[in-house]
Chain A
Amino acid sequence: MAKHVPGRKGPYIMLYALSTCPWCQKTKRLLDELGVDYYYEDVDLLSGDARRDVMVDVERWNPNRSFPTIVIDDSRCIIGFQENELRNLLKV
């Protein structure tokens, strides 16, 4: 079950992350700084069917299965820590 970080309502943001990945941590900090509402899943902390199901979603957007993978409004995907792109897309 993805964790919800409440914030300013806007596009639906789903961040697929690894708890160990500093680039993912930077992405979370940026989303926190921007104050947007988002959901995230630390995939390395999942196991079994839950992990498999989430990775099916990740792979649909990012066949390389790399992290962070950010899906916006279920229509657009940003791969990696793309600070400028996220700032431009999510600015007030």
Chain B
Amino acid sequence: MNTEPVINQDEIDRLYLRLKKEAEDSGYYLNPDTDFTKALIRSLIINEGRYGYWACPCRLADGIKSEDLDIICPCDYRDADLVQYDTCY
């Protein structure tokens, strides 16, 4: 059985443009590898459908918002990750 969620490409592209503007207005830049960034955005949309909020696609969410506040994008670890990896984890 294929359980892969169907995510509309237009939705990903629209959210990409919105997040790009929001990031740049705050002094951040999205990863210039747009395919990679859009894969992340697709996963944010999947997690919004699963949990109701943008849990980080690279961290395991509990599914209970009060337990996941630290990993909702942009997460509490972003700036530390930028220092360590030059990118968010």
Interface set of A (CB-CB < 8 Å, partner B): 18, 20-25, 43-45, 55, 65-67, 80
Contacts and interface: CB of A to CB of B under 8 A. Distances in A.
Contacts of B47: 20
B60 A65 contact: yes
Nearest to B41: A22
Interface residues on B, range: 10 to 19
A44 B58 contact: no
A44 B40 contact: no
A67 B60 contact: yes
A23 B58 contact: yes
A66 B43 contact: no
A72 to B, nearest CB: 21
B40 to A, nearest CB: 6
A44 B61 contact: yes
B60 A44 contact: yes
Contact of A22 (B3, B39, B60): B39
Interface of B: 3, 36, 39-40, 43, 46-47, 57-61, 89
Contacts of B58: 18, 20-24, 66-67
A30 B57 CA distance: 19
A20 B89 contact: no
Given A20-B46, A20-B47, A66 B59 contact: yes
The 10 closest A-B pairs by CB, nearest first: A20-B43, A20-B57, A21-B58, A22-B39, A21-B57, A22-B40, A22-B36, A20-B46, A43-B60, A67-B58
